[in-house]
Structure 1
Amino acid sequence: MEITMKQVGSMAFYTKTPSGHDVHVDASPKVGGMDSAPRPTELVLIGLAGCTSMDVVSILRKMKVENYTYEIVVSAERAEEYPKVFTAIHLKYIFKGKELPHDKIEKAVRLSQERYCSVSAMLGQVAKLTYEVVYEEE
């Protein structure tokens, strides 16, 4: 996998992903940016949420789990000193529906975290990664 990123503004950059999608990043005005796009660290958390969510939904689909809504909340703490890496990341998987199959949902989340999500595996090498599953029965 390879990308080429080009500067397109003071602190703004652009790339086209290997899958053909446009991605822009920028910095805040206090460090010379224009706040025209997400920060790279925000995209890291978005990548984490997307990676594990795709795993979980795919696994649940294979388990024939239907009729639920899903969202994930990712909270992160960063070091105070540069390079200000993530030190702790918490994932809250939220499922809403009637008669939710807790055992299947928890298995799907566990498989994503322990086996399939490459972003979780990478970030777990540098940050304390925790998660919980929340059920909102309707």
Structure 2
Amino acid sequence: MEFNMKKEAGFTTNLPYGELHIAGDEEYGFRPYQLMTSSIAVCSGGVLRKILEKKRIAFSDLRIQADVTRNDEKSGRIEKIHLHYIITGEELPLDKIEKSIELARKNCSMLQSVIDSIEVTETFEIK
């Protein structure tokens, strides 16, 4: 990946899906903490989706709410990310969902990359 400085502020990079703008100021692009949080949430959710599909657990929707706790005394360091999965479906087996989330946690490369420096917690609800 190559990042190019923008004249006003921040950087850009070109990826197969398109151009990504990154900056400390939301006026000029996505903020780095937003991208890190998104990477962890979407990686976890993608792995969970695959696990549920492999277990043939029928669901119609999966949403993720991510709450971030940052430490302003340490340059805005991300201290904690809480992921809340909202899974929509009928007669979903709670025990299998819970085990699937545990398995997703172990197999999400982004979460595993930060596991020793950021506290990541998960909860879920069925709709």
Q: TM-score, normalised by structure 1?
A: 0.83
**Equivalent residue pairs, number:** 126
> Superposition RMSD on alpha carbons, in Å?
1.6
- 1:94-133 CA distances to partner (integer Å, 9 max, x unpaired)? 11222112222212111011x2011111222112211111
Q: TM-score, normalised by structure 2?
A: 0.89
Paired residues of 1:68 and 1:100 also in contact (CA < 8 A): no
Instruction: Pick from 82, 88, 92 the counterpart of residue 80 of structure 2.
Output: 88
Change (3 A) 1:64 1:36: same
Matches within 5 A, 1:93-108: 93-108=85-100
The answer on whether the counterparts of 1:13 and 1:26 sit within 8 Å (CA) in structure 2 is yes
Pick aligned residue for 1:132 from 120, 123, 127: 123
User: 2:29 aligns to what?
Assistant: 37
Which segments of structure 1 move beyond 4 Å, counting only runs of 4 or more?
Answer: none
Q: Which amino acid aligns with 1:68?
A: S
Structure 1 portions without partners, runs of 5+: 29-33
C-alpha distance in 2 between matches for 1:107 and 1:83: 36
> Is 1:15 the counterpart of 2:7 in the alignment?
no
User: For residues 93 and 67 of structure 1, do their structure 2 counterparts lie closer, same or farther at Cα, with a shift above 3 Å needed?
Assistant: closer
Q: What displacement does 1:12 show?
A: 2.5
Alignment deviations for residues 28-79 of structure 1 (CA, whole Å, 9 cap, x no partner): 2xxxxx7132111101111111100110000111111123311011101011
Match of 1:56?
Answer: 48
Residue 26 (structure 1) aligns with: 23
Which residue of structure 2 aligns with residue 77 of structure 1? 69
Taking only the aligned residue pairs, the percentage that are identical comes to 25
Q: What secondary structure sits across from 1:81 in the alignment?
A: helix
- CA contact under 8 A between 2:59 and 2:87: conserved in structure 1? no
SS of residue paired to 2:72: coil
Separation (CA, whole Å) in 2 of partners of 1:67 and 1:121 = 26
* SS in structure 1 of the partner of residue 28 of structure 2: coil
Map of 1:6 onto structure 2: 4
**Following the alignment from structure 2 to structure 1, what is the Cα–Cα distance between the partners of residues 23 and 80?**
24
